[in-house]
Amino acid sequence: MKYTQLGRTGLKVSRLVLGTMNFGPQTDEADSHAIMDGALDAGINLFDTANVYGWGENKGRTESIIGSWFAKGGERRDKVVLATKVYGHMAASGDAWPNHDKLSAVNIRRAVDASLKRLRTDHIDVYQFHHIDRDTSFDEIWQAIDVLVQQGKILYAGSSNFPGYKIAQANETAARRGGTIGLVSEQCLYNLAERRAEMEVIPAAREYGLGVIPWSPLHGGLLGGVIKKQTEGGRRASGRSAEALNDSAVRGQVQAYEDLLDKHGIEPGEAALAWLLTRPGVTGPIVGPRTAQQLDSAIQALDLELSDELLTSLDEIFPGPGPSPEAFAW
């Protein structure tokens, strides 16, 4: 396994991140535990989750599955850099009282204690804001985070789905207040087919020393060889992938992508991950395996070297928007 620093921190994390969103909804507890064991055996030490994972009536289920895995011992918790998130509403359906969501000091305090209980741990390494809160000032947010750091309940704070200006606003507020190092990571949608983060989010993250953790590196399966799998009678595209393939232009891009990689003898999903590992500022993409086999496939990407010629060809198929302001101005 290869490791890097998480942004400007001294924290060393693996260049692949284990995403756990499927634990519970798609993957049962026993198989989830096996995947986490496999990830740890492979050297993956950064595990990402969120308090809302499990979804619907089962919100919190994913954290509970991770907690029961930690409870097995074997230094599992000590070896893992644990990241979870706060923002979504956690009250049971029909019991949606105010102050059970977003980033008020009240909800942050309530949410972190609930996550710690489900995760069966005394601290969270990276506590991430799952979305911006337009109604809560960063002064209030950082005051709440400062208290949690002092209590030893969290070590670092990160963001997810933040625009560039909010990353700047958050860290400028932290610098003015003192006492906190501000955001250390940003988790954003970023892959070959969705490169808008290159305009402002990634430049802001790099300017402020945040590690970039891309989610959906295969763009909902679109970059995982979906057309070839359909042709061969395998798992058909669904959800966002199926919808995207209805667009003839997108389908043409994906076909060109698959044809290019077939010519080079490279699996599309592995190439998509390897491409992200070449991008400036990227700490490591989040892989969310439903099975142990999918985890093994993702790990192969770490040893995949993409030639300059191939990288150029990928840029031609999936050109990024370019940096701002040139992307939308002269």
**CA pair distance 166, 173, nearest whole angstrom:** 10
At residue 114, what is the residue type?
A
List of E strands, the chain: 3-5, 12-14, 17-19, 46-48, 81-86, 124-129, 154-160, 183-189, 211-215, 286-287
At residue 130, what is the residue type?
H
Q: In the β-sheet with 46-48, what is the strand arrangement from edge to edge?
A: 211-215, 183-189, 154-160, 124-129, 81-86, 46-48, 17-19, 286-287
Q: Which of 53, 87, 127, 208 is catalytic?
A: 53
Phi, psi of 132 (to 5 degrees): -70, 150
**CA pair distance 58, 289, nearest whole angstrom:** 19
β-pair partners for 18: 47, 287
Distance of CA 139 to the CA centre of its chain: 25
Phi, psi of 85 (to 5 degrees): -135, 160
Task: Name the residue with tokens 């804001």.
Answer: 129
Q: Which residues contact 159 (CB under 8 A, 6 or more apart)?
A: 128, 129, 166, 167, 170, 183, 185, 186, 187, 210
β-pair partners for 212: 186, 282
Cis peptide before 325 (omega within 30 of 0): yes
| Tokens coding 224 | 């995982």
**CA pair distance 74, 48, nearest whole angstrom:** 20
**CA pair distance 288, 221, nearest whole angstrom:** 11
Catalytic residue status for 53? yes
| Tokens coding 143 | 């005051």
- The residues carrying an active-site annotation are 53
